[in-house]
Amino acid sequence: MEWVTLAIIVIVVFYVIAIYNKLVSLRNRFKNAFSQIDVQLNRRYDLIPNLVETAKAYMKHERETLDAVISARSQAVSASKSAAADPADAGSIQALMGAETALTGAMGRLFAVMENYPDLKANETMNNVMEELTTTENKVAFARQSFNDSVMFYNTYREQFPNNIIAGRFSFKEAQLFEIEDDTVRKAVKVSFN
């Protein structure tokens, strides 16, 4: 009888260890997926000053629009660094989503104003920066999708019984999806000059 009890205890312990290890693996997977978003967002943040500098030469009377883009970029960079430090923190992901929404809105206003400057639209440097920005926007979208898939898989596994008991005991918190809050910015930024 002692052997049976001991065997059951060993099986339960190994089962708990397996669940714990799977939770760790899934958490690391969504953290890695976030790091892919972070790489693309930083690439995007690096392109924006080039875009603004090129536009400044043509858009001397649009200082407010250009300043709004730079300000939104600064807030997004700060929020991105905070979220990159701990992608499992729902608050930092929420702050990043808000900052990204503001940046996308500011960029949309900039692109709308840029339509009024045909010389700017014909500038080769501007066209190159815009092409890079378009490519980066696509990569950001794919990285977000991958991150959200990883978060969904982690959250689903974490919430299943008996995994939820072990997750609660070892403080595996629910992860936050990376979603765009404002419906007007759900679409990718249009950067066509044709």
Collect all residues with Cβ–Cβ distance below 8 Å to 106 and sequence separation of at least 6: 65, 68, 69, 71, 72, 73
Q: Exposed, middle or buried: residue 91 (CB in 10 Å: 0-12, 13-18, 19+)? A: exposed
d(CA 43, CA 114): 22
What counts of helices (H) and strands (E) characterise the chain?
Answer: 6, 0
The answer to the question of residue 190 being in a domain is: no
- pLDDT on residue 59: 80
Give the distance between the most distant pair of CA atoms in the chain: 88
Whole-number pLDDT of residue 62: 82
CB-count burial class (<10 Å; 0-12, 13-18, 19+) for 118: exposed
In a domain, 134, yes or no: yes
Domain membership flag for residue 154: yes
CATH value at residue 11: 1.20.1440.20
Is 128 contained in some domain? yes
**pLDDT confidence of residue 185:** 46
Which residues form the domain of 112?
A: 2-185
Spatial contact of 132 and 51, defined as CB atoms under 8 Å apart: no
Q: Has residue 191 been placed in a domain?
A: no
Residues (pLDDT < 50) of the chain are 184-186, 193-194
User: What is the spatial distance between Cα 51 and Cα 173, in angstroms, rounded to a whole number?
Assistant: 39
Q: What is the pLDDT of residue 169?
A: 95
Q: Is residue 181 part of a domain?
A: yes
> Tokens 């977000």 map to which residue?
144
Q: How many domains does the chain have?
A: 1
On whether residue 169 sits in a domain, the answer given is yes
Q: Is the pTM of this model over 0.85?
A: no
pLDDT at 187: 52
Residue 73 in any domain: the answer is yes
List, in order, residues 6 or more apart from 170 with CB less than 8 Å away: 20, 23
